[in-house]
Amino acid sequence: MKKILVLNSGSTTVKYQLFLMDGQKHQVLAKGMAERIGISGSSVSMSVDENEKLVKEVELHNHIEAIKEVLNMLLSGPIKSVEEIDAVGHRMGHGGEYFDKSVVIDEDVLDKAREAGDLLPLHGAAFLYGIDAITELLPKVKQVATFDSSFHQSMKKEAFLYAIPLEQYEKHKIRRYGFHGTSHKYVAEEAAKMLGYKGKFISCHLGGGASVTAIEDGKSVDTSMGFTPMAGMIMGTRCGDIDPYIPLHIMKTQNKTADEVNAMLNKESGWCGLTRGYTDLRDIEEQYLEGNQDAITAVDVYVHALIKYIGAYMAVLGGVDAIIFTAGIGENSSFIRKKVCERLKFLGIELNEEANHLRGQATEITTPSSKVKVLVIPTNEELMIAEDTYALLHDNVVLMEKAS
């Protein structure tokens, strides 16, 4: 049995989960987050079960202070000494072309992760703060990096190359990378367990960020996010696919800077742009039902974009066995799922209305006679990171035993 701490470090937050891993089995011993790091009103929280949540308001100037407080909180119950933590798994943003799987962190990995992080438009470095903090606070513990882009390294050139001068790829590394990989991989593995085969899956990770991935035999074949997470599906505040000339046109004709246009496309677009300010689908569904025309149009645009991706990926895969919905919207919005399934009726998809309203568990929401299965699978990126970390820890233990 091993205790694995999983950290997801953002620019002002650190989300964490402490897992007890034992072979295929796992248990979450504690989870929580440090919030508003470097901003006034910061705090650390921890839950050991559904009903109990500890919150401590404490000034957190940086990620080291935040993670120190997280460890202190863990010491108040789930662990007696920090030495009980066998390894730390970090969620990382961008692995560039360097990493197609999780790796044990060393200086070389850090250099490459730093370089790849620079490809991200926002907060490329935030993921690294968590590593720096653990290196300082727990210098002996093994650390593992799991990259959001790794799963998509299986894409072939035909899927990842953009039709711009080749030197942009060769010299400047501009290509499609794709993100949400840990989530797509997790739900594809869960789907394979549910169905008993790997097959051809289209996985729709629809949360604040959103991406769609074509998966064959457990491998990513194509994905909607691109060089950055801005591409592809419409998201909470990101625009998704637009004509590449639009930003240039806005800069030229509206006298805006690159930073202003970046902010517009990253933070004021997507659901937010189309509804004049709503980013949460719960509010948009409410507005839709009240007859708000902007909300109705935004839902139509979203469903239209999703249908287009599903259709395109069916063609890429040469068919589809299952469509998977996951993340905040995918897991919770029976409303969006129903609209998508209705549009896909021509494929022989038959929605099971009752199953479509179940929440919180992996569910097949189509009838047994449906030609294509539609599955709702709650994602669990933290567990995937814990499993990868455990596997890397475990490998090493075996190697060391063999050597002795």
**Could you list the active site residues?**
148
Q: What is the 3-state secondary structure (H, E, C) of the chain?
A: CEEEEEEEECCCCEEEEEEEEECCEEEEEEEEEEECCCCCCCEEEEEEECCEEEEEECCCCCHHHHHHHHHHHHHCCCCCCHHHEEEEEEEECCCCCCCCCCEECCHHHHHHHHHHHCCCCCCCCHHHHHHHHHHHHCCCCEEEEEECCHHHHHCCHHHHCCCCCHHHHHCCCCCCCCCCHHHHHHHHHHHHHHHCCCCEEEEEEECCCEEEEEEECCEEEEECCCCCCCCCCCCCCCCCCCCCHHHHHHHHHHCCCHHHHHHHHHHCCHHHHHCCCCCCHHHHHHHHHCCCHHHHHHHHHHHHHHHHHHHHHHHHHCCCCEEEEEHHHHHHCHHHHHHHHHHCHHHCCCECHHHHCCCCCCEECECCCCCCEEEECCCCHHHHHHHHHHHHHHHHHHHHHHHC
Among 86-94, 114-122, 204-212, 343-351, the segment contacting ligand ADP (CB under 6 A): 204-212
* CB of residue 251 to ligand ADP, shortest distance in Å: 28
* CB of residue 362 to ligand ADP, shortest distance in Å: 16
* CB of residue 331 to ligand ADP, shortest distance in Å: 8
Give residues 137-156 in contact with ligand ADP (rule: CB under 6 A).
none
Q: Which residue is nearest to ligand ADP (CB)?
A: 328
- State how far the Cα of 26 lies from the Cα of 17, in Å rounded to an integer: 12
Asked whether position 208 contacts ligand ADP by CB under 6 A, the answer is yes
Nearer to ligand ADP (CB atom), residue 12 or residue 370: 12
Residue type, 30: A
- State how far the Cα of 182 lies from the Cα of 269, in Å rounded to an integer: 25
Nearer to ligand ADP (CB atom), residue 131 or residue 298: 298
The site that binds ligand ADP (CB under 6 A) totals a number of residues, namely: 12
Nearer to ligand ADP (CB atom), residue 177 or residue 288: 288
Contact code string over 303-342 relative to ligand ADP, x by CB under 6 A: ------------------------xxx--xx---------
Give residues 273-302 in contact with ligand ADP (rule: CB under 6 A).
280-282
Nearer to ligand ADP (CB atom), residue 143 or residue 237: 237
* CB of residue 208 to ligand ADP, shortest distance in Å: 3
Q: Which two tokens stand for residue 78?
A: 């789930």
* CB of residue 270 to ligand ADP, shortest distance in Å: 10
Nearer to ligand ADP (CB atom), residue 96 or residue 209: 209
Q: Decide: residue 210, CB within 10 A, 0-12 exposed, 13-18 middle, 19+ buried.
A: buried
- Residue 378's nearest CA partner among 332, 341, 340, 339 is 332
* CB of residue 356 to ligand ADP, shortest distance in Å: 13
Nearer to ligand ADP (CB atom), residue 232 or residue 328: 328
* CB of residue 326 to ligand ADP, shortest distance in Å: 8
Among 87-95, 163-171, 203-211, 248-256, the segment contacting ligand ADP (CB under 6 A): 203-211
Nearer to ligand ADP (CB atom), residue 239 or residue 327: 327
Give residues 234-263 in contact with ligand ADP (rule: CB under 6 A).
236
- Residue 53's nearest CA partner among 75, 81, 73, 37 is 73
* CB of residue 206 to ligand ADP, shortest distance in Å: 8
Give residues 168-197 in contact with ligand ADP (rule: CB under 6 A).
none
Nearer to ligand ADP (CB atom), residue 138 or residue 281: 281
- State how far the Cα of 397 lies from the Cα of 301, in Å rounded to an integer: 52
* Residues of this chain that bind ligand ADP (CB under 6 A): 207-209, 236, 280-282, 327-329, 332-333
